[in-house]
Amino acid sequence: MLLNDVFAKQSINIHLESKTKDEAFKELIENIASIRGEFSFNTMLEAVLERENKMSTSIAPGVAIPHGYYPGTDSIFGAIGVSESGIDYGAPNQKPVYCIFLIIMGESAREKHLRVLTSIMSFINSGGLNIMRKAQSPEEIYKIMSHIN
């Protein structure tokens, strides 16, 4: 599964305006809801907030992968947000987050979810955060995602 199977070109925002993680969640979920109208904004937001309240999803310096389980689907999809100034994410290292990979999935997509997390981490560990922050367009990020599995 390539990352561009999870993150549609239209779900990539390289100019997040949010200053907090809750605002970023809403901004990214609004993006998903505009693309995938069959999924409820409120249900997606509740799922992500429920998971985030258990433990921060800031997983590497400058990067977070919030996620939530959506009932009744076996799909996995998401949105990517890049913030130029950084988001106060409440990360354990107290540093801002610049790139968010928000994922929504069904309960049956757990195995796919683990593969997606592995792909994202591999990308980040190979300098992906710098690439994302320098991207000039969503298309540029989408093209990169089409080579990562």
The per-residue pLDDT for 21 is 94
Q: What is the pTM of this model?
A: 0.93
Q: Residue type for 141, please?
A: I
pLDDT for residue 61 is more than 90: no
Contact 120, 3 (CB under 8 A): yes
CATH code for the domain defined by 3-145:
3.40.930.10
Per domain, the residue ranges of the chain are 3-145
What confidence tens digit (pLDDT) does each residue in 68-86 have? 999 888 889 999 999 999 9
Average pLDDT on 80-99 reads: 90
Question: Who has greater pLDDT, 90 or 102?
Answer: 102
Contact 14, 82 (CB under 8 A): yes
What confidence tier does 9 reach under pLDDT thresholds 50, 70, 90? very high
Going from the C-alpha of 36 to that of each of 111, 123, 135, the distances in angstroms are: 22, 26, 25
| Crossing angle of helices 41-54 and 21-35, rounded to 10° | 140
Spell out the long-range contacts of 35-38 with Cβ–Cβ below 8 A and sequence spacing 24 or more.
Answer: 35/8, 35/10, 35/11, 36/77
pLDDT for residue 102 is more than 90: yes
